């Protein structure tokens, strides 16, 4: 590069300092003036709107707070105390049922433990400098479900499925060790082990061998320990409430994700048979209302299966919801992939990457990043869609909210539980969308232009 | 379609290069290559032999097929007739051959095409790690060596979007070099750059040219062509109109089409 020659006699350019806006053009009063009381018409409009809001909010406040009854043992008692108020005592009485459905009271700790384990499992993803995040995420999708089902369902498990469930324990321990090591020493467990076994100068994939051995040992230990106790069997029919809502929403999202990606790849395939069958499947399932699909899975699926196949209603609902979510995800993934410039494929091909590795290493990571906001929207939608399983006779949160009003002692208690459910769903969905927005901002911060 | 032996011994008075060069030094050999985009005949009977270490500049008006020609060499485009042999492997739809060719041919694109989700260093190590199965430490060292060679080792941990166009293109060159190719293809590497940044990329390319690597370069930088090219190929309408060493090409062009082109790009 050529050196730039400057002389001391050259005039010097100094940028002007920035100044604040004039006093009348900023601050709270300016905001009120321009937004609410800009002209006589806008002033009238503001006042009318305020009056309308007040006339709705005031009676609601009286019902929900001023006249509300917080302590009572039946709905009759609520009425005796105050006819015009909300009977929150009922919601408080049924609160545990809303969370767990008919899950036996003495076994509810298992549902809690499952949730805590999931949070523990996912936690390393949000910690800084953790280098095994991909493993954490993959095992959460592939291994954790076995552990969760082992915990929730209980009963006597044969050796092989039991080993799969206990593999979950092994991964939870190893993932955490690896995460802590990579935070403190900048090398994860696989790299440490590889160093001890003298594999450091080999290809990264050889680092897997010591890890596999470690998992085998830990899993075997966990299996032996697991035979020392038996969890009472809790059939899926008595799973319910918010617990069931979470089970359905999370597992159908997890199942839908890989199916959706494969369908999207299939729809973009060069092979006509793959492309046409994927497109047909997507279009057929997409044009069906979810309720119809759920009924079809419940009523029609057993007809196609060999006689005597036992069906579990939860499993059927999961299949229906997963397929439904998967086809929508497929379209999201497809649009995400379309946003990736052709040049990225070409650069990957020119370096010698084949289709699958180019997709996995180059295209998908970028596409998933652009898709984050839409994905979050879909998972929110999925969480709300789970309420439809109450139509096919499952007692998820919505099902349980309706059950309480059918109880003789609390007959007719519908408004309060439904309002409670509304608030609960709003809180859950709102936090998910806040998190989605956060992801979106962070994503654009990394790859954003200058 | 001519058989392989015929193609190697083909002698045509209008293409003196093909007959006069010892065949064992030929790294790219195209014989009567034709390609169509739908009804548009984009390459017409293109024959070209590139010897080891040769530096070739392709020029010509837009739509003349020069980009398509070099993209056929690593099979980013498929030719429909004729024969292309690169590093001894024939490009005929055999996936093994395509992999073999791509392993030895690096490419630098007009639009850089860096992987935006990876840092500069990761961009360079991705292929060595996954295709050459290199240990991570070795791949990192290799990438740093080439990043130093293109003079941006200090940017190794930044993302492509944080770099200027000229820096991105130099990373793209380093990324291609990390696969240790014996042939480098450049597709208008400076056309998408701000004028201020053209020279930093050209400087790197001149250095590369002096290192003895085989280069095929589509460019409008005639100063660069004059300085480093062993041979300049002028294309129009999907045909090779004229090819000659730079001195001869610029000072004594034979064909009237070449003279017109040169007067248009040099005249203003």
Residue A374 pLDDT > 70: yes
pLDDT of the residue at A446: 39
Q: Report CA Rg, chain B.
A: 19
Nearest CA in chain A to B161: A449
- CB nearest to A343's CB, from B105, B109, B161: B109
By the 8 A CB rule, do A259 and A307 touch? Answer: no
pLDDT of the residue at B4: 42
Average pLDDT, chain A: 88
Could you tell me what percentage of chain B is helix, strand and coil, using 3-state DSSP and rounding each to the nearest 5?
A: 45, 25, 35
Return d(Cα B170, Cα B118) in angstroms, integer. Answer: 16
**Cα torsion B152, B155, B159, B162: sign:** negative
Which residues of chain B lie closer than 8 angstroms to A448, CB-CB?
A: 161
Residue B9 pLDDT > 50: no
What is the count of residue pairs from A and B with beta carbons less than 8 Å apart?
82
In sequence order, which ranges of A227-312 are alpha helices (DSSP H)? 241-267, 272-286, 290-299, 301-304
Residues of A within an 8 Å Cβ radius of B: 1-2, 200-205, 341, 343-344, 346-354, 357, 361-362, 365-366, 369, 446-450
pLDDT of the residue at A445: 40
Give the percent of chain B with pLDDT over 70. 90
Domains and CATH numbers, chain A: 31-65 (no CATH), 67-103+237-450 (1.10.3720.10), 106-233 (no CATH)
Asked if B103 and A352 come within 8 Å (Cβ–Cβ), the reply is: yes
- B181: contact with A, CB 8 A cutoff: no
Asked if B76 and A350 come within 8 Å (Cβ–Cβ), the reply is: yes
Residue A184 pLDDT > 50: yes
pLDDT of the residue at B22: 54
Asked if A353 and B179 come within 8 Å (Cβ–Cβ), the reply is: no
Nearest CA in chain B to A204: B135
pLDDT of the residue at B237: 92
Q: How far apart are the first and last CA of chain B?
A: 44
Residue A134 pLDDT > 50: yes
Task: Read off the pLDDT of each residue in A367-377 and give the average, rounded to a whole number.
Answer: 85
**Cα torsion A128, A133, A136, A140: sign:** positive
Which residues of chain B lie closer than 8 angstroms to A350, CB-CB?
A: 74, 76, 102, 105-107, 109, 176
pLDDT of the residue at A19: 84
Task: Read off the pLDDT of each residue in B171-196 and give the average, rounded to a whole number.
Answer: 94
pLDDT of the residue at A128: 82
pLDDT of the residue at A3: 56
What digits encode the pLDDT tens for the residues B20-39? 455 668 999 999 999 999 88
Buried (b) or exposed (e) across A386-403, using 16+ Cβ within 10 A?
bbbbbebebbbbbbbbbb
Residue B11 pLDDT > 60: no
Nearest CA in chain A to B127: A351
Q: Report CA Rg, chain A.
A: 29
- Our CA angle for A334, B75, B186, nearest 5°, is 100
Asked if A350 and B102 come within 8 Å (Cβ–Cβ), the reply is: yes
Return d(Cα B51, Cα B28) in angstroms, integer. Answer: 7
Whole-number Cα distances in Å, A193 to A178, A305, B8: 10, 48, 55
- CB nearest to A202's CB, from B127, B135, B179: B135
Asked if A203 and B76 come within 8 Å (Cβ–Cβ), the reply is: no
Could you tell me what percentage of chain A is helix, strand and coil, using 3-state DSSP and rounding each to the nearest 5?
A: 75, 0, 25
What digits encode the pLDDT tens for the residues A76-90? 998 898 888 899 999
Which residues of chain B lie closer than 8 angstroms to A343, CB-CB?
A: 109, 111, 113
Average pLDDT, chain B: 88
Give B256 to chain A, closest Cα distance, Å: 36
Model confidence at A448, in pLDDT bands (50, 70, 90)? very low
Asked if A203 and B115 come within 8 Å (Cβ–Cβ), the reply is: no
Q: What is the DSSP letter of B115?
A: -
Structure tokens, B153: 């080792």
Least confident span in A1-15, A225-239, A416-430, B241-255: A1-15
Return d(Cα B178, Cα B180) in angstroms, integer. Answer: 5
Q: Which residues contact A198 (CB under 8 A, 6 or more apart)?
A: none
Which comes out higher in pLDDT, residue A383 or B1?
Answer: A383
Return d(Cα A344, Cα A188) in angstroms, integer. Answer: 30
Q: Which residues contact B48 (CB under 8 A, 6 or more apart)?
A: B17, B28, B29, B30, B69, B233, B240
Which residues of chain A lie closer than 8 angstroms to B134, CB-CB?
A: 203
Asked if A349 and B76 come within 8 Å (Cβ–Cβ), the reply is: yes
Q: Dihedral of the CA atoms A102, A104, A110, A115 (nearest 10)?
A: 20
pLDDT of the residue at B267: 54
What digits encode the pLDDT tens for the residues B236-260? 999 999 999 999 999 999 999 999 9
């Amino acid at each position: 590069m050529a050196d730039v020659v400057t002389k001391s006699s050259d005039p010097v350019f100094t940028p002007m300092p920035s100044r604040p806006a004039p006093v009348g053009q900023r601050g709270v009063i300016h905001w009120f003036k321009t937004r609410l009381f800009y002209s006589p018409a806008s002033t009238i409009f503001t006042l009318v709107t305020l009056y309308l809001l007040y006339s709705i909010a005031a009676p609601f406040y009286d019902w929900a707070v001023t006249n509300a009854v917080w302590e009572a043992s039946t709905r009759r008692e609520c009425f005796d105390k105050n006819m015009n108020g909300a009977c929150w005592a009922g919601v408080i009485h049924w609160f545990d049922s809303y969370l767990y459905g008919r899950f036996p009271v003495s076994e509810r700790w298992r549902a809690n433990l499952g949730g805590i384990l999931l949070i523990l499992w996912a936690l390393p993803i949000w910690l800084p400098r953790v280098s095994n995040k991909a493993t954490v995420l993959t095992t959460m999708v592939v291994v954790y479900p076995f552990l969760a089902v082992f915990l929730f369902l209980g009963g006597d498990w044969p050796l092989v499925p039991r080993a799969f469930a206990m593999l979950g324990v092994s991964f939870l321990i190893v993932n955490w060790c690896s995460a802590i090591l990579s935070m403190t020493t900048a090398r994860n467990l696989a790299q440490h082990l590889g160093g001890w076994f003298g594999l450091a100068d080999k290809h990264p994939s050889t680092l897997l061998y010591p890890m596999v051995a470690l998992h085998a040992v830990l899993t075997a230990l966990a299996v032996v320990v697991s035979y020392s106790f038996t969890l009472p069997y809790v059939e899926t029919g008595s799973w319910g409430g918010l617990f069931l809502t979470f089970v359905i929403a999370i597992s159908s999202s997890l199942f839908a994700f890989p199916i959706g990606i494969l369908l999207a790849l299939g729809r973009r395939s060069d092979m006509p048979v793959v492309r046409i069958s994927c497109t047909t499947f997507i279009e057929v399932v997409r044009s069906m209302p979810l309720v119809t699909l759920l009924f079809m899975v419940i009523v029609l699926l057993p007809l196609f299966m060999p006689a005597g196949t036992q069906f579990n209603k939860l499993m059927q609902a999961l299949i229906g919801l997963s397929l439904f979510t998967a086809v929508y995800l497929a379209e999201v993934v497809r649009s995400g992939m379309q946003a990736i410039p052709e040049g990225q494929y070409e650069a990957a091909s020119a370096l010698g990457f084949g289709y699958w590795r180019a997709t996995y290493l180059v295209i998908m990571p970028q596409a998933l990043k652009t898709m984050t906001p839409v994905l979050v929207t879909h998972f929110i939608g999925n969480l709300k869609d789970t309420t439809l399983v109450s139509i096919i006779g499952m007692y998820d949160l919505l099902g349980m909210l309706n059950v309480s009003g059918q109880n003789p002692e609390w007959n007719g208690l519908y408004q309060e539980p439904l309002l409670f459910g509304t608030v609960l769903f709003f809180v859950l969905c709102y936090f998910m969308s806040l998190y989605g927005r956060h992801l979106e901002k962070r994503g654009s911060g990394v790859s954003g232009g200058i | 379609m001519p058989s392989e032996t015929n193609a190697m011994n083909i002698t045509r008075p209008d293409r003196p290069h093909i007959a006069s060069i010892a065949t064992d030094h030929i790294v790219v050999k195209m014989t009567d290559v034709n390609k169509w985009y739908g009804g548009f005949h984009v390459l017409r009977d293109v024959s070209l032999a590139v010897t080891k270490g040769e530096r070739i500049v392709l020029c010509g008006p837009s739509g003349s097929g020069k980009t398509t020609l070099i993209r056929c060499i690593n099979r980013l485009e498929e030719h429909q007739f004729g024969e292309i042999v690169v590093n001894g492997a024939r490009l005929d739809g055999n996936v093994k051959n395509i992999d073999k060719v791509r392993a030895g041919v690096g490419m630098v694109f007009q639009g850089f095409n860096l992987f935006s989700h990876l840092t500069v260093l990761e961009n360079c190590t991705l292929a060595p790690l996954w295709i050459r199965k290199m240990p991570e430490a070795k791949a990192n060292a290799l990438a740093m060596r080439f990043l130093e060679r293109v003079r941006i080792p200090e940017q190794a941990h930044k993302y492509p979007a944080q770099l200027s166009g000229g820096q991105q293109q130099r990373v793209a060159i380093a990324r291609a070099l990390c696969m240790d190719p014996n042939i480098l293809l450049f597709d208008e590497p400076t056309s998408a750059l701000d004028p201020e940044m053209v020279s930093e990329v050209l400087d790197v390319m001149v250095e590369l040219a002096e290192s003895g690597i085989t280069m095929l370069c589509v460019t409008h930088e005639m100063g660069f062509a004059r300085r480093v090219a062993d041979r300049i190929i002028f294309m129009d309408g999907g045909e090779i109109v004229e090819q000659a060493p730079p001195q001869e090409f610029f000072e004594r062009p034979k064909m009237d089409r070449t003279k017109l082109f040169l007067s248009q790009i040099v005249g203003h």
